[in-house]
Structure 1
Amino acid sequence: MTSNGFPPARIARLALLGFGALVFLSPYIFMISTAGKTQSDIFTSSLTLIPQRWYFFENFAKAWSRVSMPTLLFNGVVVCLLILVIQVIVAVPCAYAMAKLKFRAARAMMVLVMLGLLVPIHATALPLYVGFDRVGALNSYVALVAPFTISVFGIFLFLQFFRSMPDDLIHAARLDGMSEVGIIARVIVPNAWPAITAFSIFSVVAHWNDLYWPLIVVSNQAYATPPLGLLYFRAAEAGDDYGALMAATLIITFPLVAAFLLAQKRFVEGITMTGLKG
């Protein structure tokens, strides 16, 4: 043990974790640095994180004005919120049925959920695009939301969490005369907030950052999501104004960072508790 009371093994772990955190944060640090630089500072031969001339206000003003940033953020919030709400409404009853109800198709449903985890959106993009085109639903919130309303990952996550809940709690609710819908609404959901919060972080981050599907179904900038808006911004700026581009990226990523920092405690609880078996 060292003189300050910290064992060498703990110091080594902290140093390793600190190095890993620095590696993961380095792109964000680079974005912040670039967002405060002028073009001459960005393309200078010397690499420095601290701008020689502070240019944050000008770059953020460009980012906010040259694309419709409020529209991009609004679309991102609407799309992610609609997807999340519908996913939870669908996934919670499905996971509850598979975890706590006894029926013949339970094993088959579990197999289908596991198979669903293996099917990426890229495999179904073409038939989905053709279907939305046939019904005239391209360039709409329906096209952005509908393919993601059923989340097999959410069903699997909630299934693991519900299995750790005591069966006596469910039996007591049934003895009190609650229906299965009442049990889900008044017993399961209030006790499942850690898992719901953890899933919300996964869902919002995935769909807020998604560029592939919006790039396929959206050509009208009025329905552009944040990553697609960044693509429009870069095209409008011919890829030259990297300071303003990094400022726009910071504006778009800030809501995710803030949401995670606010919900990190429940996120860790949800991830931890879904690994428990009842």
Structure 2
Amino acid sequence: MVMPFIWMILGSFKTDAEIRQYPTEFLPREPTVENYETLFGRLDFTTFFINSIVVAVFVTLGNIVFCSMIGYALAKLEFRGKKLLFALVLGTLMVPGVVTFVPLFVLTANLGLVNSYPGLILPFLISPLGVFLMRQFMLSLPDELIEAARIDGASEWRIFLRVIMPLCGPAVATLAILTFLASWNNFLWPLVVATTEDMYTLPVALALYSVGQNAARYGLMMAGAVVVVVPVLAVFVILQRYFVQGIALTGIK
């Protein structure tokens, strides 16, 4: 499982000729940072990196906020149509994303959000999986805490912010990792919505610029892949303890 990552890192320090040679060599014969210089110099990968960071961070924060709010309502509040609403949320999990892709793009275009940060962010600010995850976790929290807060005169907003959310660390960490990973690696939607280079995200830029006129530029591709993978690994390493706990407590198999 680890070998492809090691090969990717080592390949990012090789020239294309060395990568294509047969028989191939595992270690770089003459290590070079030319691929990284091309990424951050001539191809302005810094802009693409910033775009990916902005989109992934805002999408992750939006999911944490809105999925937590809906999860709390479905888990701890009583209102008419609650079971039907939750059934609809579960139903959307069975709908492939490609089914809603065209209607979503038409809606985004009609709102004038093409080639903009809102166009890249707003369609993914909430996810049915996130709602399900937060609801399942909040169901495990004792109702006595909420009842005690209500007796003390706390409003629902105060209960949600001061009682419920501090107890949802593992679920929030799990949701943050899954959402950040999905947003960071999202390729098809940014490819369609971003029409100019200054709005490209890393996966789009990597796919478009790692292919030359005659052949793929494998060294450049592997260097870009390293840049794409490192932030995701960093987030997972930081939150992995909460991620494992959140998976165990929310019943996701």
Cα deviation 1:98-118 (Å, max 9, x = unaligned) = 111222312101111110111
Q: TM-score when scaled to structure 2?
A: 0.94
Map 1:1-278 onto structure 2 (within 5 A). 23=1, 25-55=2-32, 57-235=33-211, 239-275=215-251
Cα deviation 1:189-226 (Å, max 9, x = unaligned) = 11101110110000000010010111111111111111
Distance, in Å, in 2 between the alignment partners of 1:92 and 1:158 is: 6
For residue 236 of structure 1, report the CA deviation from its aligned partner: 5.3
Cα deviation 1:66-100 (Å, max 9, x = unaligned) = 32211111111111111122222211121111111
Distance, in Å, in 2 between the alignment partners of 1:74 and 1:38 is: 27
Distance, in Å, in 2 between the alignment partners of 1:104 and 1:132 is: 32
User: In the alignment, is the contact (CA less than 8 A) between 1:98 and 1:159 conserved in 2?
Assistant: yes
Q: Which runs of 5+ in 2 are unaligned?
A: none
RMSD: 1.6
Distance, in Å, in 2 between the alignment partners of 1:225 and 1:199 is: 22
Secondary structure of 1:36's counterpart equals: coil
> Structure 1: which 4+ aligned runs deviate by more than 3 Å?
235-240
For residue 150 of structure 1, report the CA deviation from its aligned partner: 2.0
Distance, in Å, in 2 between the alignment partners of 1:242 and 1:66 is: 17
Distance, in Å, in 2 between the alignment partners of 1:173 and 1:86 is: 26
For residue 237 of structure 1, report the CA deviation from its aligned partner: 6.5
Cα deviation 1:3-47 (Å, max 9, x = unaligned) = xxxxxxxxxxxxxxxxxxxx2x22212211211212232111113
Aligned length: 252
Distance, in Å, in 2 between the alignment partners of 1:150 and 1:192 is: 17
Read off the aligned partner of 2:90 and give its amino acid letter.
M
User: In the alignment, is the contact (CA less than 8 A) between 1:195 and 1:274 conserved in 2?
Assistant: yes
Q: TM-score when scaled to structure 1?
A: 0.86
For residue 256 of structure 1, report the CA deviation from its aligned partner: 0.8
Distance, in Å, in 2 between the alignment partners of 1:60 and 1:237 is: 20
Larger-Rg structure: 1
Distance, in Å, in 1 between the alignment partners of 2:234 and 2:214 is: 30
Secondary structure of 2:73's counterpart equals: helix
**Alignment partner, residue 6 of structure 1:** none
Read off the aligned partner of 1:78 and give its amino acid letter.
V
For residue 59 of structure 1, report the CA deviation from its aligned partner: 2.0
Read off the aligned partner of 1:136 and give its amino acid letter.
G
User: In the alignment, is the contact (CA less than 8 A) between 1:64 and 1:248 conserved in 2?
Assistant: no
Secondary structure of 2:210's counterpart equals: helix
- Over 3 Å counting, the alpha-carbon distance change for 1:175 and 1:209 in structure 2 is same
User: In the alignment, is the contact (CA less than 8 A) between 1:75 and 1:224 conserved in 2?
Assistant: yes
More displaced, 222-231 or 96-105? 96-105
